[in-house]
Amino acid sequence: MSFYDLAKARYSVRKFDGRPVEEEKLNKILETGLAAPTAKNYQPFRIYVLRSKEALEKVKEVTKCSYGAPIVLMFTYDLAEEWMNPSDPSCTSGQQDTSIVATHVMLQAWDLGIGSCWVNLFEPTLSAELFDIPDTEIPLLLMPIGYPAEDAAPGPNHTLSRPEEELVRYL
């Protein structure tokens, strides 16, 4: 499958069949995230693999969007490690770097037959408390991953896109 076909085929999975993700597949997914580029290669991101019964119960306290996945990845970034633009210190890379990593993870998972869903609807402060995240780290997103249920399907807006003329500008 070409990268374009992979990117077009992937959708947010919101129903999982409960099968565990094999360790070798999880390792490949995580390794692909580690291969993602970050500003100045500072690598300020962290990936928390939440898969114990206790961890998954805590996930339910911070979001309704775990969808029964056997694993939820929590992506954070460390404020002390992110790159800062020397000409504008308010411009930092932590969110961008972590988003790049999460995108690599999401696409690698799909390539291995593992579904995922990017979740922003969660409580970052409570997540940090429940999972004992260091004070310098900011939880950015959750990503439930697992095998899609047989009846899992893309959401109704999956194929909707605004016209290219509205989104792409040539200068």
Please answer whether residues 77 and 95 qualify as being in contact, where contact means their C-beta atoms are separated by less than 8 angstroms. yes
CA atoms of 3 and 107, how far apart (whole Å): 9
Q: How far is CA 86 from CA 36, 37, 77, 93, 131, in A?
A: 23, 20, 19, 12, 33
Which three-class secondary structure string do you get for 80-130?
CCCCEECCEEEEECHHHHHHHHHHHHHHHHHHCCCEECCECCCCHHHHHHH
Domain 3-149 has CATH 3.20.20.10: no
Q: Who wins on pLDDT, 74 or 1?
A: 74
Q: What are the sequence ranges of the domains in the chain?
A: 3-149
Q: For residue range 22-32, list pLDDT tens digits in order.
A: 999 999 999 99
For the residues 29-58, what does the mean pLDDT come to? 98
pLDDT, residue 15, reads: 97
**Is residue 1 scored above 90 in pLDDT?**
no
**Is residue 131 scored above 90 in pLDDT?**
yes
Average pLDDT, the chain: 97
Confidence of residue 121 (pLDDT cuts 50, 70, 90): very high
**Is residue 159 scored above 90 in pLDDT?**
no
**Is residue 98 scored above 90 in pLDDT?**
yes
- Determine which helix (DSSP H) or strand (DSSP E) holds 39, and give its type and residue range: none
Among 89-93, 106-110, 150-154, top mean pLDDT goes to 106-110
Residue with tokens 């997540």: 127
CA atoms of 3 and 103, how far apart (whole Å): 13
| CA-only gyration radius of the chain, Å | 17
